[in-house]
Structure 1
Amino acid sequence: MKSIFIDCSLGISGDMLASALLDLGVPHSIFLNNLISLNIDKNYNLQFQFGDSEGIRGIVCTKNKIQFKELSRSFNDIKNLLLDSSLNDYVKKKSIRVFEILAEAEAIVHGNEISDVHFHELGSIDSILDIVNVCSAIDFLKPYNIYFLNPPSGKGIVYTSHGPLPVPVPTVLEIARQKKIPLTVLDDKYFGEITTPTGIALIATFIDKFSQPDKINIEKIGIGLGSKNISRPNFLRVLLIDEKADYIENNQPSYETIISQEAWIDDSTPEDIAVLIERLRSAGAIDVVCYSVDMKKNRKGICIQAIVYPKDKNLLREVWFNYSTTIGMRENKISRWILPRRIVSHKTKFGKVNVKQVMRPNGQISIKIEHKDLTQITLNTGIPIEELRHKLIIELSEFYELDDWSF
């Protein structure tokens, strides 16, 4: 499975991210076609050129056009511009979502309704094109996951159409607050904006995980340069990574990091505990276990442990603190090795069943029929579940022995 890891630890803007994706291998023709799809003036000249920033090679985006004064655009103006274009539906949807995030933040910052928000710098053709270029590049790559590092806040003052504003500018701060995006403080002598509103809105739109992947099997690297000379390397890099390389090449167990969340509870009824466990599972827990523990003052309590994927840990925390009586929860990273597995559906003479296939290191494939499917067929047919399982394994054996194991 191909994913991308966006290292924006030195800053992020729309044009830097578009440049890095181009350097990663997205065809230049996709960006040129966006000019046509948006009906942008033919004299608008979009250029991506090789350059360097303090010795770091990369691609920098320049936009040379006939000078004309652009009017500010409302969110609806931009939305209609995108809807009326010949961009595909995915790019339209994602581009509109980026501007929607910007509009929501601007509305709060200025105390307006979203319909009353007017973009100045953000409503320019430059910004619209940067956003569309990034969305179309991600549409081309179709990554399984998109990882980001936390963007830096920057410092100092910038001059905008509203006058001088502190860095981070209010829109960046508001998006970071709304979308729970942690900003890092960079030990940097540069005073100015290094995470732009467009950049953080793109993060909020596409983020799957805020972290570095546990394993980085690198296939390609793309470098996008910033246009500012800030007396230090000014670049953003994007890594194309393969998250399942070990599965495909070796059929060997794969290492991954997951999260253990645990609480000891002595002031809830068994009925309440049952509801909590169900909520944890519904919120994405891989599994939940509970057992009796002896707590302080000789009280009997229940230890509840949820195993969760890192991307789901924040949501699960909300379940713990909103739907249980606990006032504290322990959380630890744990490691595990897992065999390649997948769920496949098969049509049988008893109806459709889902089957978990597992690849063993010796190349053998073992299967397990989903129990809920067996239960439903048993209720429908009256055939005992053990007899039914035996019949289905015989019927399915010819499928999984010939089945192509691919990802």
Structure 2
Amino acid sequence: MRHVWVDVSAGVAGDMLLGALLDAGASLDAVQRAVDAVVAGAVAVEVRTVTRAGMRATKADVRMLVDDPPHRDWRTVRAMLHGAALADRVRRDALAVFGRLADAEAHAHGIDAEDVHFHEVGALDSIADVVGVCAALDDLGVESLSAGEVALGSGTVRMAHGRIAVPGPAVVELSRGWRVRGDGPGELTTPTGMALVVTLAQACEDLPALTLETSGSGAGTRDTAGRPNLTRVLVGSRTGAAPTASGQTGVVLEANVDDLDPRLWPGVLAALLGAGAQDAWLAPIAMKKGRPAHVLTVLGTPETAPRLRSVVHAQTSTIGLRQTTVEKHALPRTWAPVDVDGRTVRIKVSHERGAVVRATPEFEDVAAAAAATGRPTVDVLAAAGAAAVAGGLVPGARVPSDDSGQEVSRPHQAHDHDHPHPGHDHAGQHDHDHAEEHP
């Protein structure tokens, strides 16, 4: 499993994380293409080498090519992402990050998330930061991500609504369930940076056991003596138990709900998955006095449990829930891409002792390929399954390996033989919801 651990001990902002991933080897062209898919011809992502307190790093800059309105609301940003020609994972991750930001801002201002105006966070450079980070992770082939304790800062900062204490209300809300500390004057972590970390990371943990492949450092604008203003990433293969491996500790949250409009349930489940739930589901029950109801069940980790509880209370009518610690046992898994009519469909390969146990097409990829090609979903599903078999992904077969004989997290591509292919955070520690960007 290719894993990224993010060192946020000096804080994090969107442009700093983007710079770190580009420094670690993510393709600038891939990032620019993804950004152009959302805001074509509006911004250029540029990189330069800088030093911060004597340490070399990459500074990611987003240069404006057009005039930009002062803010966009969540509906507008969401429509832009849905309408863009992005890889499915990049779109899903970017939507989740902005969704978390909208929820945090809504809580801070006491309004509905749909009514949130992102101020400068909805501006082109912040959209480029979020989409760029998601595209960089996809380009690096990252399958899991975790981060350490976050330095938030202290003092005060000027925002669009005036001067407030650090950490600001949005960062505080986003930090629920995460290990944080003050650790220095000024704003060290921005809302965009925090939203990227808590949305995309599966765990808050110290550096896990990795076979290190590469690393990268992303710089903020300020150069503070004695304190490198950097966000770092370490990229490698996990050598210990990964989040999906056997024998991991999990948390199950449950609530019985009998008074929620059933039309709201799909949004509740989507919000929970966007907040880091590993799974979320409903089961019909009959409660006291024969009232029909549902049991909402959410599977998460000890680290994600606090924010998942917050989502349940915010999105449903329940006033209480049950929490149980469980031990999860799951087969190791990896992904193998196959081609169906020119579209990539990932095959989830579960394995044990080096042998394939099951190979299943990822349904989201199947649905996206069906929509793009116009073929019935059932036909694409069958074609992807046939391509997996043709590529040797059958029970009992060896898990694909590279030339060195090591198991790989992205096995070689298997082709569908049945169907021919058709002919920023620019501030050192300031985000774009702040009027004062360069202290």
Match of 2:15 in 1: 15
- Asked if the contact 1:342/1:358 (under 8 Å) is kept, the reply is no
Q: 1:197 aligns with which of 191, 194, 203?
A: 191
- Asked if the contact 1:217/1:245 (under 8 Å) is kept, the reply is no
Once residues 195 and 399 of structure 2 are traced to their aligned partners in structure 1, the CA distance between those partners, rounded to angstroms, is 41
Report the residue type matching 1:207 in the other structure: A
Structure 1 vs Structure 2: percent identity of aligned residues? Answer: 28
Larger radius of gyration: 1
Q: Against the structure 1 CA distance between its residues 225 and 83, is the aligned structure 2 distance closer, same or farther, given a 3 Å change threshold?
A: same
Match of 1:72 in 2: 71
- Output aligned runs, 1:56-135, within 5 Å: 56-65=55-64, 68=67, 70-135=69-134
Report the residue type matching 2:215 in the other structure: I
Once residues 178 and 168 of structure 2 are traced to their aligned partners in structure 1, the CA distance between those partners, rounded to angstroms, is 15
Task: For residue 181 of structure 1, give the secondary structure of its aligned residue in structure 2.
Answer: coil
The one-character-per-residue Cα deviations of 1:373-394 (angstroms, maximum 9, x if unpaired) are xxxxxxxxxxxxxxxxxxxxxx
Match of 1:32 in 2: 32
Match of 1:236 in 2: 231
**C-alpha deviation, 1:140, in angstroms:** 1.8
- Output aligned runs, 1:251-270, within 5 Å: none
1:182 and 2:183 matched: no
- Asked if the contact 1:259/1:313 (under 8 Å) is kept, the reply is no
Once residues 142 and 44 of structure 2 are traced to their aligned partners in structure 1, the CA distance between those partners, rounded to angstroms, is 29
- Output aligned runs, 1:348-363, within 5 Å: 357-358=352-353
Once residues 314 and 5 of structure 1 are traced to their aligned partners in structure 2, the CA distance between those partners, rounded to angstroms, is 17
Greater fraction helix: 1
Task: For residue 180 of structure 2, give the secondary structure of its aligned residue in structure 1.
Answer: coil
Report the residue type matching 2:6 in the other structure: I
**C-alpha deviation, 1:27, in angstroms:** 0.8
Once residues 191 and 332 of structure 2 are traced to their aligned partners in structure 1, the CA distance between those partners, rounded to angstroms, is 40
Match of 1:274 in 2: none
Once residues 156 and 313 of structure 1 are traced to their aligned partners in structure 2, the CA distance between those partners, rounded to angstroms, is 27
Once residues 223 and 101 of structure 1 are traced to their aligned partners in structure 2, the CA distance between those partners, rounded to angstroms, is 25
Once residues 167 and 224 of structure 2 are traced to their aligned partners in structure 1, the CA distance between those partners, rounded to angstroms, is 17
1:153 and 2:152 matched: yes
**C-alpha deviation, 1:323, in angstroms:** 6.8
Once residues 125 and 36 of structure 1 are traced to their aligned partners in structure 2, the CA distance between those partners, rounded to angstroms, is 11
Greater relative contact order: 1 or 2 (C-alpha under 8 angstroms, separation 6 or more)?
A: 2
Q: Against the structure 1 CA distance between its residues 88 and 193, is the aligned structure 2 distance closer, same or farther, given a 3 Å change threshold?
A: same
Task: For residue 72 of structure 1, give the secondary structure of its aligned residue in structure 2.
Answer: coil
Report the residue type matching 1:195 in the other structure: T
**C-alpha deviation, 1:21, in angstroms:** 0.5
Report the residue type matching 2:52 in the other structure: S
TM-score between the two structures when normalised by the length of structure 2: 0.57
Q: 1:209 aligns with which of 196, 203, 210?
A: 203
Once residues 36 and 250 of structure 2 are traced to their aligned partners in structure 1, the CA distance between those partners, rounded to angstroms, is 50
Once residues 17 and 260 of structure 1 are traced to their aligned partners in structure 2, the CA distance between those partners, rounded to angstroms, is 28
Aligned alpha-carbon RMSD (Å): 4.0
- Asked if the contact 1:214/1:257 (under 8 Å) is kept, the reply is no
* Structure 1, 55-64 or 6-15: larger mean CA deviation: 55-64
**C-alpha deviation, 1:244, in angstroms:** 4.0
Q: Against the structure 1 CA distance between its residues 71 and 59, is the aligned structure 2 distance closer, same or farther, given a 3 Å change threshold?
A: same
The one-character-per-residue Cα deviations of 1:81-111 (angstroms, maximum 9, x if unpaired) are 1112222222122111111111111111111
User: Number of matched residues?
Assistant: 290
Match of 1:5 in 2: 5
- Asked if the contact 2:154/2:166 (under 8 Å) is kept, the reply is yes
Report the residue type matching 2:219 in the other structure: L
Once residues 94 and 56 of structure 1 are traced to their aligned partners in structure 2, the CA distance between those partners, rounded to angstroms, is 31
Consecutive unaligned residues of structure 1, counting only runs of 5 or more, are 247-255, 262-282, 285-309, 330-340, 345-353, 360-364, 368-398
TM-score between the two structures when normalised by the length of structure 1: 0.61
Once residues 162 and 352 of structure 2 are traced to their aligned partners in structure 1, the CA distance between those partners, rounded to angstroms, is 61
- Asked if the contact 2:351/2:399 (under 8 Å) is kept, the reply is no
The one-character-per-residue Cα deviations of 1:22-67 (angstroms, maximum 9, x if unpaired) are 111111101221342123445x332111111011111001233357
